[in-house]
Structure 1
Amino acid sequence: MDIILSSTFPALFAIFIFAAMVRGFSGFGFTLVALPLSALFMPVIELVPVFMLIDLLGNVQLLPKVRRHVDWKWVAKVFIPCFVFTPVGLLLLKSVEQDTIVLIISVFIFASALMIQKGFQYSKEPKFAPFILGSLAGVMNGAASMSGPPVGAHALASPVAPHIARAGLIAFFVLADSSAFVSASIAGLVNSNLVILTAALLPSSMLGGYLGSQLFERYGGKKFKPVTVILLITIAIFSILRVI
């Protein structure tokens, strides 16, 4: 595959290491980081299925370490609507300009992170938020493999311990990325070149995921929420400025 032999590949490899470190620490954010940075080097639409598969494999790598902390009821409430609305996002991927998708996602990321940074938190178990945010996650999952922002915001707004929130996010993304990848395959977005590129980039994801997990074990209790919020705001601003 041409891209593997090109001067772009080392940059993608480094980007994927950094993005996987973010995912290993926070439980989400791989595509959130990798998409805008990768867009500096090549059309992102060519990489969306790669993001899906790499993110899936990366979260499968992390899941055994956190499975005992997963609240599967919480996961189900956001995954079911995400699963239903993922095909809607795939339709957008084929019919809407890439910059438009990135801009809409970035504005939502910024608004959600700003609310959480200012102290927004659920006062009790929400009834409709999981369905609304899960549905939005599905649209974003299909359109750009970026279901993280709404579900991440939902987790950060929930009054649970960092290790519980992170475990729920990792479990959610194993399910969400699996469904998105199957949908992308049915839609004809997956081919042999994608599998080859994914295999070439997989070591970067595994290394980054390991490093991110080590950082969480050392600093996650105190730094999980502020670092994740700062990450969301920074990436949102960067993405908006790039599109504008």
Structure 2
Amino acid sequence: MTASWERSRQAGPAFGGATLNAVDLLLAGSVVFTAAFLRGYSGFGFSTVLMAGLIFWLPASQIAPMSIALEIIASLGQSRSVLRDVERRALAYLLLAGLIGNPIGVALLDHVPDQAMRIGVHVLIIGAVLTLLLRPIRPTVPTAMVLSLAGFVAGVVNGATAMSGLVLGLFFTTTAISSRAMRATMIAYFFFTDLWAGALLTVSGHYGGQILWHIAAALPLLFIGLWLGSICFARYGSHDRRFRRIVLWLLLALCVIGLGRALL
């Protein structure tokens, strides 16, 4: 561990308070910006990057509610530009099936260690991504049954590990859904699931003054990152095949980061 990390841990909260030195503040800010940029471009990946990056300055118990709140704000900020592109049929099946799978994932926590589940999910997705990169399949229009199965699996994974974004990102790369609809539908999906999670966190008292201060401090970087990411998508994301490959590489990077964090 670095000396700056030790000083930050001893001093107290990260950004949002006056306890970080300039280097640590710049690094923490760059994590928020990177996460927001990826969210703006691809529609997912925000929470994974935020958790992996800010864990050096904040405990996971503070990052999780902060991430949920910022995800909701991000979805609201993007709603006007993506609403017309949402694949409503796919969204409905994914959400309804996810509601069924979610409690099963939560129940698994009583039988399988959290770290083991996270490692398993990351390894499976890495394997699937590498397979799709090396041997691309022909995208198909998902049936109601396929959408329901994907939503159910995403719900189980979300309940057990809160990593449904990785599952959905992988699923959408195998479909004939356009890049604009893929991105918009994921943004809409996360809005509804995060709204539910945020309500539960609020009722259980997870949004104290310190976390609200962290959220407020992150907002400027969130909006700048979303704006730049959205511009990049508008310019380079309209090519469906290229966008799918970019999403696959992004999934691979996020899973490698997550796997490394789970093993350390």
Give the TM-score taking structure 2 as reference length. 0.79
Distance 2:138 2:56 in 1: 35
Q: Where does residue 230 of structure 1 map in the other structure?
A: 249
Question: Deviation at 1:93?
Answer: 7.7
What amino acid is aligned across from residue 242 of structure 1 in structure 2?
A: R
Stretch of structure 1 that moved more, 37-46 or 148-157: 37-46
Q: Where does residue 97 of structure 2 map in the other structure?
A: 81
SS in 1 for 2:248: helix
Distance 2:30 2:67 in 1: 14
SS in 1 for 2:210: helix
SS in 2 for 1:138: helix
Question: What's the CA shift string for 1:107-136, capped at 9, x where partnerless?
Answer: 243234234323235544334332333233
Q: What count of residue pairs does the alignment treat as equivalent?
A: 244
Distance 1:163 1:128 in 2: 23
Stretch of structure 1 that moved more, 40-49 or 156-165: 40-49
Q: 1:79 to 1:207 in 2, by over 3 A?
A: same
SS in 1 for 2:200: helix
Task: Give the gaps of 5 or more residues in structure 2.
Answer: 1-11
Matched, 1:129 2:146: yes
Q: 1:135 to 1:46 in 2, by over 3 A?
A: farther
Bigger-Rg structure (1/2): 2
Matched, 1:6 2:22: no
Question: Deviation at 1:75?
Answer: 0.5
SS in 1 for 2:238: helix
Distance 2:129 2:38 in 1: 16
SS in 2 for 1:221: coil
Question: Deviation at 1:234?
Answer: 1.5
Give the TM-score taking structure 1 as reference length. 0.85
Greater relative contact order, per chain length (Cα 8 Å cut-off, separation 6+): 1
Distance 2:103 2:207 in 1: 15
Distance 2:92 2:100 in 1: 12
Percent of aligned pairs sharing the same letter? 24
Stretch of structure 1 that moved more, 41-50 or 66-75: 41-50
Q: Where does residue 44 of structure 1 map in the other structure?
A: 60
Contact residue 65 and residue 207 of structure 2 kept, 8 A: yes
Question: What's the CA shift string for 1:198-224, capped at 9, x where partnerless?
Answer: 122122211111010000011112342
Root mean square deviation of aligned Cα: 2.8
What amino acid is aligned across from residue 208 of structure 2 in structure 1?
A: N
Structure-to-structure mapping, 1:1-244, within 5 angstroms: 2-3=13-14, 4=16, 5-7=18-20, 8-86=24-102, 99-100=115-116, 102-117=118-133, 118-121=135-138, 123-142=140-159, 145-222=162-239, 223-244=242-263
Stretch of structure 1 that moved more, 95-104 or 55-64: 95-104
SS in 2 for 1:120: coil
Question: What's the CA shift string for 1:128-181, capped at 9, x where partnerless?
Answer: 332333233334445554321111122211112211211111111111211121
Contact residue 45 and residue 254 of structure 2 kept, 8 A: no
Task: Give the gaps of 5 or more residues in structure 1.
Answer: none
Contact residue 155 and residue 169 of structure 1 kept, 8 A: no
Distance 1:36 1:100 in 2: 17
Contact residue 66 and residue 211 of structure 2 kept, 8 A: yes
Contact residue 145 and residue 177 of structure 1 kept, 8 A: no
Q: Where does residue 6 of structure 2 map in the other structure?
A: none
Q: 1:102 to 1:155 in 2, by over 3 A?
A: same
